[in-house]
């Protein structure tokens, strides 16, 4: 069977099984309507929180999944928070970021011990830093999008991953977060990768005992700005 035949075979088998008659306009319209309107299903009540309650929920959920969280009043606090975090965890004062404009705005020179590298993640990276595009407090989940600003490899290769997110980008539900991304990327379009991250990497594959740092970062630190 060639490619086109295989495709036809499967589609015909589906239509046969569903007993589809030649006039298919209703089904087609139903599908188009759903794709265009992408109606929301039930959103849990707790995901509809806002303001301080929403922020508290976000932090509680993240910490519950073994991430650590700190708050920055403004971007100018970030260098000192990063330097302190790395010092406290006995980590090298060196890290890698992408080209996100946020990282360009941060006055790194206020923490002169820090060295920032730029580019995609390397197997040898100890610490990397990314900016999360949005987040859902519902489960304490950050949404990272691929691209030169925040290369995907930075999210998975290092031992320690630091994420920065603006307070205003922390939303309630997954629905809110996807709608925010639709605003950026347009309807029915996503970047190559959207990584939803809710804590450091872990496994329970040996005797159901949870161990951090299976393949991805052992530590996740989230800095909330604003």
Partner 1 sequence: MKPQSHAFKANVAQALTNEPLKKALGGIKHGFVANRAKARTNLPEFEELRDEAKAVKEHTLAHLDLYLEEYEAKVSEAGGHVHWAPSAQNARDIILNICREADAKTVTKGKTMIGEEIAINEHLAKADITPVETDLGEYLVQIRDEPPSHIIAPAIHLTKAQVESDFRQLHTDLPIDRVLDEPGQLVAEARKVLRERFLAADVGITGANLLIAETGTSVIVTNEGNGDLTQCLPRVHIVIASIEKTVPTLEDANTILRVLARSATGQECSTYTTYTTGPKRPGDPDGPEEYHVVLLDNGRTEMLGSEFHDMLRCIRCGACMNHCPVYGAVGGHAYGWVYPGPMGAVLTPSLIGIDEAGHLPNASTFCGRCEAVCPMRIPLPKMMRQYREREYEKGNTPPLYKLGMKLWAFAAKRHRLYQALTGLAIPLMARLGKRSGRFRTFPLAGGWTRHRDLPAPQGKTFQQLWREKEAKS
Based on the number of CB atoms within 10 Å of its own CB, is 82 exposed (0-12), middle (13-18) or buried (19 or more)?
buried
Question: 76 with 110: CB under 8 angstroms?
Answer: yes
Closest CA relative to residue 127, chosen from 88, 164, 82, 96: 96
Binding window for partner 1 (CB under 8 A); candidates: 38-46, 85-93, 100-108, 109-117: 38-46
Among 128, 134, 141, 160, binds partner 1 (CB under 8 A): 141
**Half-sphere exposure at residue 51, Cβ-oriented, CA atoms within 13 angstroms:** 0
* Beta-carbon count within 10 A of 156 CB: 15
Of the candidate residues 70, 119, 126, 226, the single one contacting partner 1 (CB under 8 A):
119
* Residue 48 interacting with partner 1 (CB under 8 A): no
Which residues, 78 to 117, sit near partner 1 by CB under 8 A? 98
Name the minimum Å distance from CB 206 to partner 1.
4
Instruction: Work out whether 226 is an interface residue with partner 1 (CB under 8 A).
Output: no
Contacts of 3 (CB under 8 A, 6+ apart): none
Find the shortest distance in angstroms from Cβ 132 to partner 1.
Answer: 13
Which part of the chain contacts partner 1 (CB under 8 A), choosing from 50-58, 86-94, 102-110, 119-127? 119-127
Asked if 3 interacts with partner 1 (CB under 8 A), we say yes
In 3D space, the residue among 150, 151, 169, 168 whose CA is nearest the CA of residue 103 turns out to be: 150
Q: CB nearer to partner 1: give 29 or 84.
A: 29
Candidates 26-34, 49-57, 73-81, 107-115 — which segment interacts with partner 1 by CB under 8 A?
A: 26-34
């Amino acid at each position: 069977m060639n490619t086109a035949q295989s495709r036809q075979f499967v589609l015909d088998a589906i239509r046969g099984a569903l007993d589809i008659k030649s006039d298919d306009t209703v089904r087609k319209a139903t599908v188009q309507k759903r794709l265009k309107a992408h109606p929301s299903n039930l959103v849990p009540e707790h995901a509809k929180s806002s303001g301080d309650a929403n922020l508290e929920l976000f932090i509680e959920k993240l910490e519950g999944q073994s991430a650590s969280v700190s708050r920055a009043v403004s971007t100018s606090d970030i260098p000192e928070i990063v330097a302190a975090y790395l010092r406290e965890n006995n980590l090298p004062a060196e890290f890698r970021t992408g080209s996100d404009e946020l990282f360009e705005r941060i006055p790194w020179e206020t923490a002169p011990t820090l060295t920032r590298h730029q580019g995609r993640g390397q197997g040898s990276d100890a610490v990397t830093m990314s900016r999360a595009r949005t987040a859902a407090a519902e489960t304490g989940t950050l949404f990272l999008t691929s691209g030169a600003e925040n290369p995907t490899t930075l999210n998975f290769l290092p031992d320690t991953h630091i994420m920065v997110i603006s307070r205003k980008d922390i939303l309630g539900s997954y629905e809110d977060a996807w709608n925010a991304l639709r605003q950026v990327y347009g309807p029915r379009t996503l970047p190559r990768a959207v990584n939803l991250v809710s804590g450091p990497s872990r496994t329970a594959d040996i005797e159901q005992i949870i161990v951090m740092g299976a393949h991805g970062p052992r530590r996740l630190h989230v800095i909330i700005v604003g």
